[in-house]
Amino acid sequence: MTAQCVLFPLPMSDGHRFDVSVVMPFGDDEEFVGIAVRRTAEYLRGMNMAFEILAIDEDSGDNSHAVLALLRAEVPELRVTHAPARGRGVDVGVARAQGTLVVVATADVASASLDGVGDSARRLLAGNGDAEVALARYTIAHRVRSLIAFRGARLIGPAMHRRLAKRLQVRNLNVRVGGAAATAKTAVARFRAFAFRASKVA
């Protein structure tokens, strides 16, 4: 007998067109952006969520736009727009989003996996917190509550989610932070404990 996983629709908040708005800034990401949009759409459809994907061009100079144009029929939830400068894609995307929740992820990360976003969304929609940050992977937050934290933000590279976590926290939002950095700190602590025990034995 094969086990089956049954997913139930998430309730959409009154006054919002979507459960989730995915903000995906991109530059010269033609090798990632198409896969990222397709996998994100498949993932959110599997979660029975109403969603939109906002791909924000941060001055790309490659074939990223051509790749996205080919996906429009397959992913009607996709919207492509421009940011005025590098690092401003998140700010622009969140300002134009219409979802109850907003998810921020770069194309390279989203092309690999957004595992965890569904569980985070369920917790936030159930009232358990205002935002969750998976360091080096994604940030998800109640859009209206977090708008001020995103406004004016210039976010580039791997430090994006760490900076977002700080911006959300200083505005007294209930933010859960986890991910690669937290795991790394745990590993360092374990190594130090091991080294201490080894020195005592020696």
Amino acid identity for residue 144 in this structure: V
Average pLDDT over all residues of the chain: 83
Q: In this structure, is residue 105 part of a structural domain?
A: yes
Does a structural domain hold residue 55? yes
What pLDDT shows up at residue 179?
67
pLDDT digits (tens, 9 = 90+) for 168-190: 999 999 999 996 543 333 333 33
Segments forming the whole domain that contains residue 23: 18-201
pLDDT computed for residue 17 by the predictor: 87
From the number of C-beta atoms within 10 Å of its C-beta (0-12, 13-18, 19+), residue 108 rates as middle
pTM: 0.81
Gyration radius of the chain over CA positions: 18
Domain CATH number, residue 42? 3.90.550.10
Burial class from Cβ neighbours inside 10 Å (0-12, 13-18, 19+) for residue 16 reads middle
Residue 10 lies in a domain: no
For the chain, list residues with pLDDT below 50.
1-15, 181-202
* Any domain includes 11: no
